[in-house]
Amino acid sequence: MGVAAIKEYAFESADRLENFHGNQLLYIGWDKHLLFCAPFCLPMPPAMRFGDIIDKVLPGVFGYHPDFAKIDWSKVMWLKSGQPWQADFNKTLAELGLKHKDVLRFQTPGLDGIKGSAS
């Protein structure tokens, strides 16, 4: 059932780009790993190399899942806003065209959660 507002909302969003002191929000989710039920929202500088996210950020986010240590990052399939996307670990977020509040998901062939349960 659709919902229609009676009147237009008149407020500034709290998650506007200018509220993050030079960072932008990047959502990252891991498909077939529902131990993490939704993508994580991470404030990242646009000048950060994508490879640094893989090496320095994601271990602290997803690293306690037993599949994480088994990931072959060269075989990971990436989606940006639901569409196939090519990651380049040597480019920055800005160079890759990633913008404030973009959503990335990654898929790890052969790693389907704890005992294949998608969790």
- Over residues 59-105, the pLDDT tens digits come to 999 999 999 999 999 999 999 999 999 999 999 999 999 999 999 99
Is 5 a domain residue? no
Range of the domain at 106: 17-116
Tokens of 87: 């990651």
Beta bridge partners of 28: 40, 104
Question: Which is it for strands 40-44 and 83-85: parallel, antiparallel or unpaired?
Answer: unpaired
Q: Can you give the pTM of this predicted structure?
A: 0.88
Report which of residues 36 and 11 the model is more confident about.
36
- On whether residue 6 sits in a domain, the answer given is no
Residue 1 binned pLDDT confidence (cut-offs 50, 70, 90): low
For the chain, the domain total comes to 1
The answer as to whether 56 is a domain residue is: yes
pLDDT reported for residue 99: 96
Rounded Cα distance between 102 and 88, Å, is 16
Report the share of the chain in percent with pLDDT over 70. Answer: 99
Q: Is 17's pLDDT higher than 70?
A: yes
